[in-house]
Amino acid sequence: MSTTADTQALLAQADRILELNDRGRYTVPTHGLYPFQWNWDSCLVALGQRHNDETRAWLELETLFEHQWDDGMVPHIVFHEPDDGYFPGPDVWNTGRSTPTTGITQPPVAGFALRRLYDSAQDNKKAKREASRLLPMVDRWHQWFFTHRDPEQTGLVALIHPWESGRDNSIDWDEPFEKVPTEGITPYVRRDTLHADPTHRPTKAQYDRYLWLVEHFRSLSWDNAQLHNASPFQIVDPGFNAILIRACDDLAHTATALGYEEIASRNREFAARGRAALETLWHDQNGQYACYDRVSKKLSDSASVGGLLPILAGLSAERASAITQRIQTLGEKVNYLVPSHDPDDERFDAKRYWRGPSWLIVNYLIVCGLRLSEEHQLADEIETQSLKLIETSGFAEYYDPITGEPCGGATFSWTAAMVKEFCLTPKIDKAS
Cis peptide bond prior to 343, omega within 30° of 0: no
Residue number of the CB atom closest to ligand GLC:
29
374 near 432, Cβ under 8 Å?
no
Binding of ligand GLC by 83 (CB under 6 A): no
Q: Of 43 and 387, which has the nearer Cβ to ligand GLC?
A: 43
384 near 363, Cβ under 8 Å?
no
Q: Is 374 a catalytic residue?
A: no
Binding of ligand GLC by 41 (CB under 6 A): yes
Which strands make up the sheet holding 292-293, listed edge to edge? 235-236, 292-293, 298-299
Cα-flanking dihedrals φ and ψ of residue 78, to 5°? -110, 120
Q: Of 90 and 155, which has the nearer Cβ to ligand GLC?
A: 90
What gap in Å lies between CA 313 and CA 333, rounded to an integer? Answer: 26
Binding of ligand GLC by 34 (CB under 6 A): yes
Smallest distance, ligand GLC to C-beta of residue 291, A: 16
Site for ligand GLC in 168-197 (CB under 6 A): 168
Smallest distance, ligand GLC to C-beta of residue 40, A: 6
Of the candidate residues 10, 27, 35, 38, the single one contacting ligand GLC (CB under 6 A): 38
For ligand GLC, which stretch binds (CB under 6 A), given 9-17, 37-45, 54-62, 230-238? 37-45
Smallest distance, ligand GLC to C-beta of residue 163, A: 7
Binding of ligand GLC by 166 (CB under 6 A): yes
Catalytic residue among 54, 250, 397, 400: 397
Give every CB contact of residue 219 below 8 A, 6+ residues apart in sequence: none
Cis peptide bond prior to 367, omega within 30° of 0: no
Catalytic residue among 71, 83, 119, 168: 168
Binding of ligand GLC by 108 (CB under 6 A): no
Q: Is 168 a catalytic residue?
A: yes
Burial 76-111 (b: 16+ CB within 10 A, else e): bbbbbeebeebebbbeebebebeebbbbbbbbbbbb
Rounded to the nearest 10 degrees, what angle do helices 376-393 and 5-20 cross at? Answer: 70
What gap in Å lies between CA 403 and CA 145, rounded to an integer? Answer: 39
Binding of ligand GLC by 29 (CB under 6 A): yes
Site string for ligand GLC, 201-230 (x = CB under 6 A): ------------------------------
Q: How many residues bind ligand GLC (CB under 6 A)?
A: 7
Active site residues: 168, 397
Residues that bind ligand GLC (CB under 6 A): 29, 34, 38, 40-41, 166, 168
